[in-house]
């Protein structure tokens, strides 16, 4: 089922560019990292859950590229843009071969089932 988004026809033309440009630098940075690396973990400082994903990837011997944006009180607008772009509500956001696979629990399940190695083969 596709995620609901507001149709462009329902956005006034005078504000479309403002919406299109909102925090696009961070989205472009993550898109570039996802295009350049097989596994990317997008997180935030002081949050232990992205660290759990990274530890699990390290323990499985899977190389990953890490991006961190702010902490609980800083850079929340940037992180919100990533949430709006992906539709994923929490951090980390883990990408494998260009696809969002979820967060820490999701990537750990993929590691434990052996599916992550298959995705990377």
**Average pLDDT over all residues of the chain:** 95
Which residue segment(s) compose the domain that 24 sits in?
A: 8-120
The reply to whether 3 falls in a domain is no
pLDDT in the model for residue 1: 67
Phi and psi at residue 100, to the nearest 5°: -70, 120
pLDDT of 45 reads 86
pTM strictly above 0.85: yes
The string of pLDDT tens digits covering residues 65-102 is 999 999 888 999 999 999 999 999 999 999 999 999 99
What per-residue confidence (pLDDT) applies to 60? Answer: 98
CATH number of the domain that 109 lies in? Answer: 3.40.30.10
Number of domains into which the chain is organized: 1
Give DSSP secondary structure letters for 1-60.
-PPP---GGGS-GGGHHHHHHTTHHHHHHHHHHHHH-SEEEEE-TT-HHHHHHHHHHHHT
């Amino acid at each position: 089922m596709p995620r609901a988004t507001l149709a462009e026809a329902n956005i006034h033309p005078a504000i479309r560019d403002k919406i299109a440009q909102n925090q696009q630098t961070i989205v472009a940075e993550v898109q570039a990292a996802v295009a350049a690396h097989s596994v990317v973990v997008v997180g935030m400082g002081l949050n232990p859950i992205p660290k759990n994903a990274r530890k699990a990837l390290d323990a499985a011997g899977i190389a990953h590229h890490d991006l961190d944006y702010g902490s609980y009180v800083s850079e929340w607008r940037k992180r919100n843009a990533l949430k709006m772009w992906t539709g994923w509500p929490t951090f980390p956001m883990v990408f494998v071969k260009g696809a969002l696979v979820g967060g820490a629990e999701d990537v750990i399940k993929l590691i434990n089932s052996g599916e992550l190695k298959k995705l990377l083969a």
